[in-house]
Amino acid sequence: MSDLLNKQFRNNVYDLVAVIPSGRVMTYGQIATICGHPNAARAVGQIAHFGPSDLPWHRVVNKKGIMASGFVPGGKQGQKSLLKDEDIKVVDDIIVNFRELLWQPKILS
């Protein structure tokens, strides 16, 4: 049972991250909340760390709008480049207009 729930949570996170459009960012807390675990932001980070690299983790940042990843291929440098490549301006590792770029999905289907 618990295993299934854990798996579901992971699957949810994967799905959500995979749906993040280019030029948009999302916070761990937001993802965790939408997944059904409001305070499982840390878990999202763990899933991101051990999860597949097929997903745009570089669009996932912490509540401060700072790139917490740094673990993505290329390190923070690559991360910043990727974000900039998507019209996301980053200054001092902080996303500009982060509030505006924050993508809020309309409830998981």
Write out the binding residues for DNA, residues 1-20 only, by CB under 7 A: 5-6, 9-10
Taking CB under 7 A as the rule, which mask of x and - marks residues 49-88 in contact with DNA? xxx-----x--x-xxx---xxxxx----------------
Q: What is the DSSP string of the chain?
A: -HHHHHHHHHHHHHHHHHHPPTT-BEEHHHHHHHHT-TT-HHHHHHHHHHS-TTS-GGGEE-TTSB-----STTHHHHHHHHHHHTT--EETTEETTHHHHB---S---
CB of 29 to DNA, least distance (A): 3
Residues that bind DNA (CB under 7 A): 5-6, 9-10, 27-29, 37, 39-51, 57, 60, 62-64, 68-72
